[in-house]
Amino acid sequence: MAIVTLSLPDVKRKTKTRPMKCPHCQGETFQRWGKVLKPVRDNRFHSVQVYRYRCCHCRRTFRHYPAGVDQADQTLRMRKLAAIYWVLGLSLRSIPLALSAFGVKLSHMSVWRDLQEQAHLLTKQRRWQAVRILGVDGAYPLIKGKKQPVLIAVDLGTGQPVAIGQVDEYSPQAVKRWLEPLVQRLGVSVIVTDDLASFRTVAPKLGLEQQVCQFHVRRWVGRALHDLKGKLPKEWLWVLDEIKDLLTHLPLEGSRRLFELWKQIPEPRSGRNASPLSSLDQLRYLLLRLSEHWDSYRLFDWQKDVPWTNNGTEQAIGRMKMRSRTVRGYKSWPGMQAALLLSASGVAW
């Protein structure tokens, strides 16, 4: 699970160390070439001391910054702090206000750039970390006042999101196109999803084992059973109880048992074109579907560390949705993606 660690980089007023290597030619001997007072935006310092050096090898000059300072006018500490405020729930426009308490003046656009930078660092850091179990789920955050379909992928080992894409979860082609490079790069072997047909189509094509979130299964099956209870001939009501029982205990032999039940129910007399489907036909269809999908309901039983719900992914979506409401007029999709990924992380490194 995500752990909030509010560690901020240290910022030094001056540095006592000498540079190790010339940034231009990797040379290792230098002459000091003067010093400058660099103004910075920081909670403790208004300026820091920066030495200039000249490389004895290539004769070019460069600046050697103290810890926590680089070319930017905000210190690393301020940039990280702005991102932490964002993750903790402050809006883009209230972050400059919060930072002004430290005597730091920032526009909301420079805060936006800070978020982009931190998201980029986070993505880079996670890019090649192997993920064995990936939670995938669709969400519809408000983007520019409109609900937009996105897919989010979460490392269920750490609870951290690894990618957000503008993908319609109902399209198997789109889901596959987005998931395939991710699965290959991260070495994913199990996905946890809800019961959508698109995930079911894509999982075997990508060589993935699938665990279907049992909250989702119980919800939709519960509704179907409730609906059938009202219209099924009385002599078949016991089947509903047995389905409910099987789903509660998820026994290994459940698939076979459901298939046996399916065989016991008489086939429709009127053939395929009969409409609407009779309640018995609906029951047959339900039994067959559950029997066929049974393995994906109980992967967690024998695959180590696989959760039986997609709760970890839903939590990340919750954090992201809370965030997306407070931002209007995202500049671009990549920018928004970065900000959402950062907010869905819910941590401050």
Q: Under the rule (CB under 5 A), what is the footprint of Zn ion?
A: 22, 24-25, 27, 55, 57-58
Nearest residue (CB) to Zn ion, 28 versus 292: 28
DSSP-assigned states of every residue in 176-202: HHHHHHHHHHHT--EEEE-S-HHHHHH
- The angle formed by the CA atoms of residues 149, 2 and 121, to the nearest 5 degrees, is 70
Nearest residue (CB) to Zn ion, 59 versus 93: 59
Radius of gyration (C-alpha) of the chain in whole angstroms: 28
Cα gap 71→40, rounded to integer Å: 10
> Is 197:293 a contact under the CB 8 Å cutoff?
no
Smallest distance from Zn ion to CB 24, Å: 4
> Is 137:194 a contact under the CB 8 Å cutoff?
yes
CA 240 to chain CA centroid, nearest Å: 37
Q: Which DSSP category does 269 fall into?
A: S
State the greatest distance between any 2 C-alpha atoms of the chain, in Å, as a whole number.
95
Nearest residue (CB) to Zn ion, 22 versus 133: 22
Smallest distance from Zn ion to CB 55, Å: 3
Smallest distance from Zn ion to CB 29, Å: 9
Nearest residue (CB) to Zn ion, 34 versus 187: 34
Smallest distance from Zn ion to CB 57, Å: 5
Nearest residue (CB) to Zn ion, 57 versus 200: 57
Smallest distance from Zn ion to CB 307, Å: 53
Smallest distance from Zn ion to CB 38, Å: 22
Nearest residue (CB) to Zn ion, 55 versus 203: 55
* Residue in 89, 90, 121, 119 with CA at minimum distance from that of residue 106: 90
